[in-house]
């Protein structure tokens, strides 16, 4: 017990003894702040459950999500062996929701790795270099921002062809401009600071200044924005799947499941409602966690 108290006191000290100590103390204090936010922890719990569900889908799912049984089609909620009922082909809806979480996490992860990195690169280069580079990059950003995200994603998917990989690429191409705007605004502020001038006088190259001194200061705002944007990314992916341009049948993608179930919405409402509730729950979880992270990483923004 005393060792735990000692470690806690070491992490909560106001006088860190090293850079590593300061980093660990900052992470621990941020975790304490996040843990004190009940709604953020609720959202985090849902997302942890989603990840575990995706990892252990073969063990959790009661049935094979692809096996059809036309004699068992459109079973209602609470049916023996089918708690969420079955769809028009007799496939278990619960099993398809569980396996569909893998597709959702796959899309979210890839977009989160592509769009913020591209936006950070464009925004920091535009903000630090300035001049014609800033003008050209920001005008390109404005062109992308001028179109609604889903409409632009539809245009890209129509050009690239239907498929989950093309859907991920299309969503990423429409998601990077806000990150570029944010990174540029922060870079313009950081570029004028004294310590950047000192680093420049020491002979650091622009690439080193951007990657070692500007990017780390943009990361916290980027993380908050990414978390809050996850709901929009999930909805965009579901919209493409609903229109038949995302994951292709028989993949248990939630948007495609809603599209299939809309034909039976009046008499067999659960076929479309269950995947819709799944999308709503995961989107809400990302928003709740994003609000909590904003309080931790950007307290000034969170207090407004």
Determine the pLDDT at residue 302. Answer: 47
pLDDT tens profile 224-268: 889 888 988 999 889 888 888 888 888 899 999 999 888 888 888
The arithmetic mean of pLDDT across residues 38-59, rounded, is 94
* Percent share of the chain, pLDDT over 70: 96
Q: Is the pLDDT of residue 78 over 50?
A: yes
Measured CA to CA in angstroms, residue 79 lies from 75, 96, 110, 139, 171 at distances of 6, 16, 36, 56, 38
Determine the pLDDT at residue 300. Answer: 52
* Percent share of the chain, pLDDT over 90: 37
The arithmetic mean of pLDDT across residues 292-300, rounded, is 75
Contacts of 272 (CB under 8 A, 6+ apart): 257, 258, 260, 261, 262, 264, 265
- pTM > 0.75: yes
Q: Is the pLDDT of residue 121 over 80?
A: yes
Q: Is the pLDDT of residue 299 over 60?
A: no
The arithmetic mean of pLDDT across residues 130-150, rounded, is 89
Determine the pLDDT at residue 141. Answer: 92
Q: Is the pLDDT of residue 106 over 80?
A: yes
Among candidates 297, 300, 303, 287, which has minimal Cα distance to 27? 297
Q: Is the pLDDT of residue 1 over 60?
A: no
Domain boundaries, the chain: 83-302
Determine the pLDDT at residue 281. Answer: 95
Angular region, 19: left φ>0, alpha ψ -120 to 50, beta rest: alpha
83-302 maps to which CATH number?
1.10.3720.10
CB atoms within 10 A of CB 203: 7
Q: What tokens appear for 26 in the block?
A: 């900052």
């Amino acid at each position: 017990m005393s060792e735990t108290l000692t470690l806690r006191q070491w992490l909560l000290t106001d006088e860190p003894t090293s850079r590593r100590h300061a980093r660990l103390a900052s992470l621990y204090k941020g975790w304490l702040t996040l843990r004190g936010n009940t709604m953020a922890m609720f959202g985090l719990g849902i997302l942890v459950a989603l990840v575990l569900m995706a990892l252990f889908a073969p063990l959790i799912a009661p049935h094979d999500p692809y096996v059809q049984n036309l004699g068992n089609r459109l079973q209602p909620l609470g049916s023996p062996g089918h708690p969420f009922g079955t769809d028009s082909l007799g496939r278990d809806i619960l099993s398809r929701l569980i396996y569909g979480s893998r597709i959702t996490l796959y899309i979210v992860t890839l977009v989160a790795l592509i769009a913020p990195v591209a936006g950070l690169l464009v925004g920091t280069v535009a903000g630090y270099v300035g001049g014609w580079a800033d003008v050209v990059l920001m005008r390109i950003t404005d062109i992308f921002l001028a179109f609604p995200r889903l409409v632009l994603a539809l245009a890209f998917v129509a050009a690239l062809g239907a498929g989950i990989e093309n859907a991920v690429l299309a969503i990423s191409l429409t998601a990077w401009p806000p990150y570029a705007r944010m990174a540029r605004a922060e870079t313009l502020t950081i570029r004028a600071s004294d310590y950047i001038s000192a680093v420049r006088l020491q002979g650091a190259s622009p690439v080193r200044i951007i990657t070692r001194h500007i990017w780390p200061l943009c990361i916290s705002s980027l993380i908050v924005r990414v978390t809050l944007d996850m709901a929009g990314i999930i909805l965009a992916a579901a919209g493409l799947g609903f229109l038949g341009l995302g994951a292709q049948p028989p993949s248990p993608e939630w948007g495609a499941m809603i599209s299939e179930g809309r034909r039976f919405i009046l008499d067999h409402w659960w076929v479309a409602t269950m995947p819709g509730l799944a999308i709503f729950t995961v989107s809400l979880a990302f928003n709740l966690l994003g609000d909590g992270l904003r309080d931790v990483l950007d307290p000034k923004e969170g207090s407004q």
